[in-house]
Structures are given as C-alpha cells and as structure tokens.
C-alpha cells in the first residue's frame, strides 16, 4: 500500500515528514549543483569555482546530519508504521547516499588544479555528456522521491546503464591514451578517477531510486539486467595476455 | 491449506450461508480454532459481518481496530461469552479442534475451561492467592489430592511468572497484589485448568509500562503451549507480541496476515490508514 500523502490525525507528524521531504529536496539540489559546478570548473580550469565546490560540501554534510537527526527523532517520537516507516527509513538512507554524491563532486573539484587542460586529453571529451546523464539521474531519483513515483525510480535504475557504458568507453580510451602519451599518464589517471566518480554517482542515484521504490511499494526493486559491468574492468590489468 | 478450508467449510450448520468472502488462514502451525462466515447480531444491529479466521497453536494472534469495530465481540464468540448477552445472536461456524463449539451438546463450562479468558481489568476473586488458582482445578476435578492441587498452583504461578513474587504469601488476598501482579494472577488462574486457548481482551490497558512488559514477556513464553488470541488497542503491543494480526473495521475483517507484513506493508488502504494514524 503506497503512501498517498493523505494527512495524519496528528498534524505535527505531517509537519515533520514535510520538513524532512523539504530537506531531502534541498540536499539533492545542492549535490546536483555541486556536480555541475565541479564539471564546469574542470572544463574551464576554474580553480576558484573548484574551491567553492569543496567549501560548499560542508553545507551538504550539515544537511545530512540534520536530516538524520530529524528522522531519528521522528521515528522515536511518532513510532511510524507501514508506508510512513518505509519512507522514513528511505529518507535516512537517501540522505547518506546523496551526501556521498556530494563527496564525489567534491573529489572531482579537488582534481581540477592538477589537470591543466582537459582539451588536450582526448577521452575527456566524453565527460560532459557522462556528467549530464549522471546529474539527470540524481535529479530524477529525487524527483521520484518527491512524487513517490516507483515507475520513475525504476527508470532511473535502468538508465544507470548508460553511465556505466560511458565509463567503460572512457576507461578503454584512457588506457589507450596512456599507452600513446606516457608523459600525460598522471593527468589521464586523474581523468579516469573523475570518470569513476561519475560512474559512482550514477550508482548512488540508483541506490536512491531503489529506496524510493521500496518506500512506495514495500518491496525491493527488481534486479535490473546489467550489461557489461564496469567493475569487471578492474580485472583487466591482471588478466595479462 | 485448501484441504483445511474444504474440511471446515463442509459444515452442517444451517445458519451458514455461502459467501464470497474467502476463509482466511493464519498459515503455518497446527490449527486450533477455525471460524467461518461468522455473523453476530445484537438485536437488529449486526456487529460482526462474515468473519472467517483460523487460529493456530504456534502463533499469537492479535485483533486490532478502532473502538466499536467488533474485535472484542468476535473474541468473545470464541468461548461463547456472548451467550451471557440475551440479545446477542451468533451464526456461522466456530470450531475448536474440529468440534463445533456452538453445537447443542457442547458443555459451555467445559468450553470456557478449554478456552480461557483474561479481561481488561484484573479481576481476581476476593480470596487468597492460592484459592484464586485452586478454584478452577477444584470445580473441574483436576486434582485428587492436596499435593496435586499444590502442584497445579505452583506450576500455574510459575508459568505466569508470579511464583517468585508470591510463594511466601500464598494465603494473602489476591486483591492485595499490584495491578500487574493481579493480571498475572488471572493468567495463572486461566492456565490452572489446563486450557488449549487463552483469549486476552486488552490485558494491559490498565497496567503501567513495566507491568505491561512483564505480561508481554509472559505471552511470549506461553506461545506454543497455548493458542493465544489478544485484542489490543495498542498497535505497538500487537506488533511486539503477535505473529498474526487481524484488522477489524465496522464489524468486518479487513485484513489478516503476518504481523510484520501488516505493520510494514499492509495490503488494504483501510489497514494502512489505521496503523499509520490517518484514521478518521
């Protein structure tokens, strides 16, 4: 039985839930913005903007703390049941996951100073598209939370495959680039980490979507049929031919 | 499960009507009581409408629902306590170990020994603690010697978790005990006649949280020895003590299922609204 958003007899419970939903929307918005800013800083080599992303991550961390405190307090004081309980558990987990998304954006921003220019690094040309899709997943996962929309959540989870495919592609081209341009290996390695961060952001958006699905439906999201798993690539260097 | 339903629905009761409502099984565990298509009327007013539930040995069954939903009325059908209300009429099938409890040959006194009851307010007899427990076994002839009776009293008090607190003062009046102790005394009294089922009608509503916790722990310990059915207004209590929960609303059974499912993901909107506090 899904939450239809009808009011509780105890109105203060609705106030708590609405406040939490508002904070989740805010932490989501800030994380999404952090990804966009970090990618812009990377592209323009804008150190000031990168530093801003790093500094603003503290706000995301604080929001996570506040969400956790209020969720904890609401569970303790209101003894929620059924969809209310599921939603609060989801909120608790989502805040942690979104905070991690913020950390990945911060991590990208921190690499800006060591990559003088992405333009010379061929594989970097795929990063903006990859980051747009990853950001869109984060936005849609949180939109699904706001609308309690299990279908949208399922769609987010399916679309994560696109981000994974981007990563696989970038991984391969970065390795080739490194072989061809050994002097740029340092920067290329950072580039690879950035791609990995974006890939993880997609995974975390999927985690959010899974929570939304669970909160709405009361059952775990069905396993999606994965194509090539980017983590398989980890095996590649050791399979030496 | 179909076999169970078949065996109990081939009833000879003339009052029973074929209904579209499914008979609802509590699931695993040996079946102790079945109810099929039960209607209860107080005069012209229908208080229970077509309720079918199974009660098993291994599960504590909780009945929840708003005031006036019929949960206590239904509970009282299970040992024919409604017989004491002249205008009450019960139709449908209720069996204990396959035996129709509303059959004319059923000895009601015997039935109430087999299906014991604990009420909202502790109601010990104004007698000694010992006599409170010994009363039932005496009238049912369960003890032939004083030693037998002493044993029953001790075992019952032990099972009810009260022995340690009263063993040195068995001749004190039962009414001198605290509320929680009195309620455990009433449970011991029900246990003393070796029942198969214990019905509890809001057994903790007059007790403080510590006495309540002791009763809940006791219910947990008694589970499996007796089939236990509890009516409670306290949903947290239903969630804590039961393995099966039935939600009643306006005399109908809305949903019956595994307690953890009912409280985390109920199927029916009415159940959802009630347990999440959106009712009314």
Tokens of B171: 């001749």
d(CA B9, CA B16): 9
> What is the C-alpha separation between A195 and A130, in angstroms, rounded?
8
Residue B26: what pLDDT?
52
Question: Which chain B residue has its CA at the smallest distance from A79's CA?
Answer: B236
Question: Shortest CA distance to A26 belongs to which of A124, A102, A106?
Answer: A102
Best probe of the B interface among A16, A75, A82, by most B CBs < 10 A, is: A82
Residues from chain B that touch A80, judged by Cβ atoms under 8 A, are: 276
Question: Contact B76/B260 with Cβ under 8 angstroms?
Answer: no
Distance from CA of B255 to the nearest CA of A (A): 12
Domains delineated in chain B: 2-275 (3.40.50.300)
Nearest CB to A83 within list B235, B276, B280? B276
Query: Would you call A81 and B280 a contact, using CB atoms and an 8 Å cutoff?
Result: no
Task: Give the number of other Cβ atoms within 10 Å of residue A129's Cβ.
Answer: 11
Q: Which residue of A has its CA nearest to B261?
A: A82
| Contact of B24 with B191, CB cutoff 8 Å | no
Cα B125 to Cα A212, A225, B173: the distances in Å are 56, 67, 9
Pair A78, A13: CB distance under 8 Å: yes
Q: Assign B267 to helix, strand or coil.
A: coil
Element (H, E) at A239: none
- Closest CB from B267, B279, B280 relative to A1: B267
Please give, rounded to a whole number of angstroms, the shortest distance from the CA of A13 to a CA of chain B.
Answer: 9
Q: What percent of chain A has pLDDT over 70?
A: 90
pLDDT mean over A23-42: 95
Does the pLDDT value for residue A233 go beyond 60? no
DSSP helix/strand/coil, B24: strand
Torsion sign (Cα): B171, B173, B177, B183: positive
CB-based contacts of B65: which residues, under 8 Å, 6+ apart? B71, B247, B248, B249, B254, B274
Q: Looking at chain B, which residue has its C-alpha nearest residue A9?
A: B278
Residue contact A6–B278, C-beta within 8 A: yes
Which of A80, A218, A219 minimises the CB distance to B276? Answer: A80
From chain A, the residues in CB contact with B273 under 8 A are 6
Residue with tokens 């904070």: A23
The total of other beta-carbon atoms located within 10 Å of residue A232's CB is 10
Whether the Cβ atoms of residue B7 and residue B36 lie closer than 8 Å to each other: no
Distance CA A159, CA A206 (A): 9
CB nearest A13 (choices: B266, B267, B277): B277
H or E element at residue B173: none
* pLDDT, average across residues A39-68: 96
Contact check, Cβ <8 Å, A13/B266: no
Q: How far is A83 from chain B (nearest CA, A)?
A: 7
Instruction: For residue B276, list chain A residues with Cβ-Cβ distance below 8 A.
Output: 8, 80-84
Helices (H), A112-184: 127-147, 150-180
- Mutation target vs B (from A12, A14, A81; most B CBs, 10 A cutoff): A81
pLDDT-derived band at A120, boundaries 50, 70, 90: confident
Answer with the residue of higher pLDDT: A241 or A209.
Answer: A209
The tokens describing B250, both together, are: 């306006």
Average pLDDT for A101-125: 87
Alpha-carbon separation of residue B268 from A1, A221, B58, B254 (angstroms): 7, 21, 25, 7
pLDDT of residue A227: 57
Secondary structure class of B15 (helix, strand, coil)? coil
Contact B272 A82 (CB under 8 A): yes
- The H helix count followed by the E strand count for chain B is 11, 10
Measure CB to CB from residue A81 to each of B268, B269, B276 and give the nearest one. B276
* Distance between CA atoms of residues A56 and A42, nearest Å: 16
Residues of B with CB under 8 A from a CB of A: 235-236, 239, 263-269, 271-273, 275-280
Residue A165 pLDDT > 60: yes
Residue B11 pLDDT: 36
Tokens of A192: 């690879």
| Cross-chain residue pair B277–A83, CB shorter than 8 Å | no
Alpha-carbon distance B236 to nearest alpha carbon in chain A (angstroms): 8
Closest residue, chain B, to A89 (C-alpha): B264
**Contact: B277, A9; criterion CB under 8 Å:** yes
Domains and CATH numbers, chain A: 11-222 (1.20.58.220)
**Which DSSP letter does residue B122 get?**
-
CB contact under 8 A, B280 and A9: yes
| Cα separation, B9 vs B2, whole angstroms | 10
B88 strand-pairing partners: B42
Low-confidence ranges of chain B (pLDDT < 50): 1-23
Say if residues A227 and A159 touch (Cβ distance below 8 Å): no
Q: How confident is the model at residue A87 (pLDDT cuts 50, 70, 90)?
A: very high
- Nearest chain A residue to B266 by CA: give it: A1
Which pLDDT does position A122 carry in this prediction? 77
The pLDDT of residue B114: 95
B194 in Cβ contact with B116 (< 8 Å): no
Give the pLDDT of residue A116: 78
Percentage of chain A surpassing pLDDT 90?
Answer: 78
Structure tokens at B249: 């609303």
Which helix H or strand E contains B72, and what residues bound it? helix B71-77
The CA-CA-CA angle for residues A69, A73, A78, to 5°, reads: 150
Q: Which residue of B has its CA nearest to A218?
A: B265
Supply the mean pLDDT for chain A: 90
Tokens describing residue A237: 């260097």
What mean pLDDT comes out for the span A63-87?
A: 94
Which residues of A make CB contacts under 8 Å with B?
A: 1, 4, 6-10, 13, 79-86, 218-219
């Amino acid at each position: 039985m899904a939450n239809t958003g009808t009011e509780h007899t105890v109105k203060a419970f609705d106030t708590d839930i609405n406040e939490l939903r508002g904070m989740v929307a805010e932490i989501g918005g800030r994380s999404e913005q952090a990804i966009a800013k970090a990618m812009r800083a990377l592209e323009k080599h804008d150190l000031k903007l990168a530093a801003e992303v790093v500094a603003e991550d503290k706000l995301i961390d604080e929001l996570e703390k506040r969400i956790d405190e209020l969720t904890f307090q609401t569970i303790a004081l209101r003894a929620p049941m059924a969809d209310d309980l599921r939603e609060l558990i989801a909120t608790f987990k989502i805040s942690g996951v979104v905070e991690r998304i913020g950390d990945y954006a911060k991590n990208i921003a921190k690499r800006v100073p060591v990559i003088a220019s992405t333009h010379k690094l061929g594989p970097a040309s795929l990063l903006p598209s990859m980051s747009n899709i990853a950001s869109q997943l984060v936005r849609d996962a949180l939109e699904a939370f706001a609308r309690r929309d299990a279908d949208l959540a399922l769609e987010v989870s399916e679309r994560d495959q696109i981000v994974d495919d981007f990563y696989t592609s970038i991984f391969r081209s970065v390795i080739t680039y490194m072989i061809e341009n050994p002097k740029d290996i340092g920067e290329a390695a950072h580039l690879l980490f950035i791609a990995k961060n974006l890939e993880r952001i997609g995974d975390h958006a999927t985690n959010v979507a899974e929570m939304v699905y669970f909160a709405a439906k009361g059952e775990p999201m069905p396993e999606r049929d994965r194509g090539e798993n980017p983590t398989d690539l980890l095996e590649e260097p050791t399979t030496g031919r | 499960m179909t076999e169970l339903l078949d065996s109990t629905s081939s009833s000879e009761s003339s009052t029973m009507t074929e209904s579209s409502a499914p008979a609802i099984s509590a699931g695993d565990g040996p079946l102790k009581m079945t109810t099929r298509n039960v209607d209860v009327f107080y005069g012209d007013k229908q208080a229970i409408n077509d309720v079918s539930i199974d009660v098993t040995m291994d599960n504590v069954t909780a009945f929840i629902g708003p005031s006036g939903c019929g949960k206590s009325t239904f509970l009282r059908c299970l040992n024919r306590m409604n017989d004491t209300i002249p205008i009450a009429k019960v139709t449908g099938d209720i069996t204990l170990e396959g035996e129709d409890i509303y059959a004319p040959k059923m000895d009601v006194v015997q039935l109430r020994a087999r299906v014991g009851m604990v009420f909202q307010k502790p109601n010990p007899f104004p007698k000694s603690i010992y006599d409170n427990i010994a009363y039932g076994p005496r009238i049912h002839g369960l003890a032939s010697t004083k030693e037998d009776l002493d044993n029953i009293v001790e075992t019952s008090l032990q099972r009810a978790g009260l022995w340690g607190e009263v063993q040195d003062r068995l001749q004190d009046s039962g009414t001198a005990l605290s509320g929680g102790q009195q309620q455990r005394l009433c449970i011991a009294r029900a246990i003393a006649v070796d029942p198969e089922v214990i019905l509890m009608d809001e057994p903790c509503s007059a007790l403080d949280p510590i006495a309540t916790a002791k009763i809940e722990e006791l219910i947990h310990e008694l589970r499996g020895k007796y089939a236990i059915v509890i009516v409670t207004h306290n949903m947290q209590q239903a969630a804590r003590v039961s393995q099966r929960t039935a939600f009643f609303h306006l005399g109908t059974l809305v949903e019956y299922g595994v307690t953890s499912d009912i409280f985390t993901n109920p199927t029916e909107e009415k159940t959802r609204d009630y347990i999440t506090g959106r009712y009314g």
